[in-house]
Amino acid sequence: KNEVEQSPQNLTAQEGEFITINCSYSVGISALHWLQQHPGGGIVSLFMLSSGKKKHGRLIATINIQEKHSSLHITASHPRDSAVYICAVKVGETSGSRLTFGEGTQLTVNP
Amino acid sequence: DTEVTQTPKHLVMGMTNKKSLKCEQHMGHRAMYWYKQKAKKPPELMFVYSYEKLSINESVPSRFSPECPNSSLLNLHLHALQPEDSALYLCASSQVQRVEKLFFGSGTQLSVL
């Protein structure tokens, strides 16, 4: 069993739909990152969470430390949101950031 | 400037070649990382430099040799690679402590023939 599990693996939505991607982890963590990767490689860091909720534009990320679970929500989805979304956790407080990655969720938003 | 710049974007090399990948950032980050990513898989950490010193080596074969000549530059020297080393190589940077965000470069797509 992976330490970080994402669901679903693939998600297809229509433009305008509300989208939720889930991430569960089995270890104690100090932080959780949500990353976005577009075709061609570039990875963008969307959020870093250690508790609660963060919002940036149409993106909302929540984390429940007790349940070891995080969600990424996209409101009013748009075709440009099509990408792979990756959850990654940081274990411990070592300097720098050694992250354990989930397998990613491939999101396709159709017009 | 919030960019991590990687060169080259694409590289094709033979198994006997020696080549280098370069990564540069001017955000004052003192932690820099090399990741390897195979198609449809998440990135795998290879090396972490913290204050220009190698702090993490994830048991990477010696045919990959990292170098951090100063706080803005990170190199990955490649020698005698195997076809299975073909992958996207990503560089990233961050603060050392209280990491809020990782900044990634767009990667070097490496093909070993």
pLDDT tens digits for A20-40? 999 999 888 888 999 999 987
| Whether B66 contacts chain A with CB within 8 A | no
Which DSSP symbol is given to A57?
A: T
At residue B8 the predicted structure's pLDDT band, cuts being 50, 70 and 90, is very high
Contacts of B33 in chain A (CB under 8 A): 96-97
Terminal C-alpha separation, chain B: 36
Contacts of A51 in chain B (CB under 8 A): none
**Amino acid at position B113, single letter:** L
> A98–B42: do the CB atoms touch at under 8 Å?
no
Q: How far apart are CA B13 and CA B101, in angstroms?
A: 33
The whole-angstrom distance between residue B51's C-alpha and the CA centroid of its chain comes to 16
Using a pLDDT cut of 70, give the percent of chain B over it. Answer: 96
Answer yes or no: are the C-beta atoms of B91 and B33 closer than 8 Å: yes
> Any alpha helices (H) in chain B, and if so which ranges?
none
> Which residues fall within 8 angstroms of residue B28, CB to CB, at 6 or more apart?
B71
At residue A99 the predicted structure's pLDDT band, cuts being 50, 70 and 90, is confident
Tally Cβ neighbours within 10 Å of residue A85: 23
Cis peptide before B8 (omega within 30 of 0): yes
At residue A2 the predicted structure's pLDDT band, cuts being 50, 70 and 90, is confident
Which chain B residue has its CA at the smallest distance from A102's CA?
B42
> A29-84 pLDDT, tens per residue?
888 999 999 987 789 999 999 899 999 999 999 999 999 999 999 999 999 999 99
Q: How far apart are CA A7 and CA A1, in angstroms?
A: 14
Residues in chain B: 113
Where do we find the tokens 């396709």? A108
Q: How far apart are CA A70 and CA A56, in angstroms?
A: 16
Which chain A residue has its CA at the smallest distance from B94's CA?
A96
pLDDT of residue B34: 96
